Amino acid sequence: MSIYEALRSNGLPMGLLPKGVKDFRLDDAGQFEVYLDQECNAKFENELHYDRNVSGTLSYGQIAGLSGISAQDLFLWFPVKEIRVDVPSSGLIYFDVGVVFKQFSLSMFETPRDCLAVQRKDPRDGGFIALSKVLPSFVFNSLFTDCKLISLIIDYF
């Protein structure tokens, strides 16, 4: 069984993971790890970033404890912590990005997408693009409420 078939048998679309999965492991408890050749970005309604290793716990209709996927919204990157679909299906899929649940059409993720190789940006060069990857979520969430904190963080990098 491929990881794409495992997603489908758990009520999830195969396109949650990009083309080019090099290897994967999945245990009886649903814990999985996917290995890609390199970090990459795939374009949907928004852009998704995949680390070389993506892991989480797969159960029917959801992936919990997810790491290795980030979603872009405007110019910010947010780590995706959980993905779930409604059972029975409403045609929607939800991404928990810590601050909110982002909602997308399930049909966007029907087939695996091509994933373009990327290199991780240096925080000094990429500003906010890398902040969500290097700061604890409580600090990152504060960015939306405290402009002074933004200045402190930028000065730090």
| Cβ-proximal residues to 13 (8 Å cutoff; 6+ apart), any chain | 7, 85, 93, 106, 109, 110
- Angle (CA) 127-133-136 rounded to 5° is 105
Same-domain status, 99 and 24: yes
| Helix (H) / strand (E) containing 24 | strand 21-26
Same-domain status, 106 and 126: no
Contact between 14 and 93 (Cβ < 8 Å): no
Question: Is residue 151 pLDDT above 80, yes or no?
Answer: no
What integer pLDDT is reported at residue 127 of this predicted model?
33
What integer pLDDT is reported at residue 128 of this predicted model?
32
Give the number of C-alpha atoms closer than 13 A to the C-alpha of residue 95, restricted to the C-beta side. 22
Quote the distance between the C-alpha of residue 155 and its chain's center.
Answer: 28
Question: Is residue 137 pLDDT above 70, yes or no?
Answer: no
Q: Which of 157, 97, 155 is nearest to 131 (CA)?
A: 157
What integer pLDDT is reported at residue 54 of this predicted model?
98
> For residue range 2-52, what is the model confidence (pLDDT) as tens digits?
999 999 999 999 999 999 899 999 999 999 999 999 999 999 988 999 999
In the chain, what percentage of residues exceed pLDDT 90? Answer: 66
Instruction: Determine the average pLDDT of the residues in 130-154.
Output: 42
> For residue range 65-113, what is the model confidence (pLDDT) as tens digits?
999 999 998 889 999 999 999 988 899 999 999 888 999 999 999 999 9
78: CATH = 2.30.240.10
Same-domain status, 43 and 18: yes
Question: Is residue 133 pLDDT above 80, yes or no?
Answer: no
Same-domain status, 88 and 113: yes
Q: Which residue has the higher pLDDT, 38 or 153?
A: 38
Same-domain status, 39 and 96: yes
Same-domain status, 86 and 128: no
